[in-house]
Amino acid sequence: METNRVLIVSDDSKRRKFIEYGIIRYKLNPVSYPNFLSVRKALQLDPFCMVIVDMQMPIEQKLALVDEAMKSQKEATVITIEKRDYLNSVGFLSSHPSIISLESIAAFPDTLKDIMKKADTIAE
């Protein structure tokens, strides 16, 4: 099922708005939920083309969400923002090699641009 919905998980409203702005520029539909329970339910029931998780605290809950996204959203691009060194050190990225992990939110616009270019190339 084709979708243009992007799930954004971020506790920080300014960072979430920054991510949403980038998403909207590519005519994608940003979606966020007020709590982890709602996010987990959405991952199980709703299709997303992309799942973006801002890895600021609480890290353990967000690791569980990323893991769930990998299982339930098999076609989605999964991106983590922040904590790349930590994710590498605990082996999380090696066990989920398709995750795009950014060390900083500053890298998000360029990464999104690259992802969208690749998607356009594949669609043509």
Band the pLDDT of 1: cuts 50, 70, 90.
very low
Least confident of 52-56, 61-65, 118-122: 118-122
Taking a C-beta distance cutoff of 8 angstroms, is the pair 84, 110 a contact?
no
Query: What is the structure's pLDDT at 124?
Result: 43
Residue 2 has pLDDT above 80, yes or no: no
Is position 30 within any domain? Answer: yes
Query: Among positive and negative, which fits the CA dihedral 82, 86, 89, 95?
Result: negative
For the chain, what is the domain count? 1
Does residue 95 belong to any structural domain of this protein?
yes
* Per-residue b or e along 58-71, where b marks 16 or more CB atoms closer than 10 Å to that residue's CB: eeeebbebbeebbe
Q: What percent of the chain has pLDDT over 70?
A: 94
Which pLDDT score, from 0 to 100, does residue 42 have? 93
Q: Is the pLDDT of residue 107 over 70?
A: yes
pLDDT at 18 over 90: yes
**pLDDT, the chain, mean:** 90
The CATH number assigned to the domain holding 18 equals 3.40.50.2300
Domain that holds residue 82: 5-119
pLDDT tens-digit map of 30-62: 999 878 888 999 999 999 999 999 988 688 888
CA distance 86 to 76: 23
Q: Looking at the domain assignment, is residue 124 inside a domain?
A: no
